[in-house]
């Protein structure tokens, strides 16, 4: 079942790149006591994700955070090395937190998994949400993974 507004986000342990190398970020640490914008993408470096979805959040990072958001994060079912390379290639360091849901456990638990045989394994649906202390206050899911309008930075800003 897909999560909805009013639900709490599922527990997760995301893989992240730290200054000391590979690390882990638990959902309680990411969402606890904070307002977080989280958006999910089918894959790092894929055309819509790389050229349309991520750039809006980087460009509008200051405006989003000025509305009371503590963290902007992107999650994808890619390994943490790919997510780290994507962060660096996008000049997003310090603006967006890149989360690796390596085994798709978070997106499956949230009901946001995308079975896409063309990718070779389960991916994330394209979504955006706002969570306050782990409770969802806004959620939008794109009907087509090739679109990034209902889940883009402009839609999130309108919801804030």
**Catalytic residue (one of 3, 12, 17, 49):** 49
What's the number of CA atoms in the CB half-sphere (13 Å) around residue 22?
10
| Three-class secondary structure of residue 131 per DSSP | strand
- CA angle centred on 44, ends 40 and 47, rounded to 5°: 100
- Alpha carbons 145 and 122: distance in angstroms, whole number: 13
Q: Which two tokens stand for residue 112?
A: 């946001």
Residue 21 is among the residues annotated as catalytic for this protein: no
Positions marked active-site: 49
């Amino acid at each position: 079942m897909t999560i909805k507004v009013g639900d709490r986000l599922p527990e997760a342990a995301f893989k992240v790149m730290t200054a000391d190398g590979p690390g882990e970020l638990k959902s309680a640490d990411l969402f606890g006591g904070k307002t977080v914008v989280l958006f999910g993408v089918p894959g790092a470096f894929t055309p819509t994700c790389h050229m349309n979805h991520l750039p809006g959040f980087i460009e509008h990072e200051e405006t989003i955070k000025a509305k009371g958001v503590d963290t902007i994060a992107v999650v994808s079912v890619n390994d943490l090395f790919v997510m780290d390379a994507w962060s660096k290639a996008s000049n997003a360091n310090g603006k967006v937190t890149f989360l690796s849901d390596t085994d798709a456990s978070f997106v499956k638990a949230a009901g946001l998994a995308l079975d896409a045989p063309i990718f070779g394994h389960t991916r994330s649906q394209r979504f955006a949400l706002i969570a306050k202390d782990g409770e969802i206050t806004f959620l939008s899911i794109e009907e087509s993974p090739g679109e990034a309008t209902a889940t883009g930075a402009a839609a999130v800003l309108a919801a804030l």
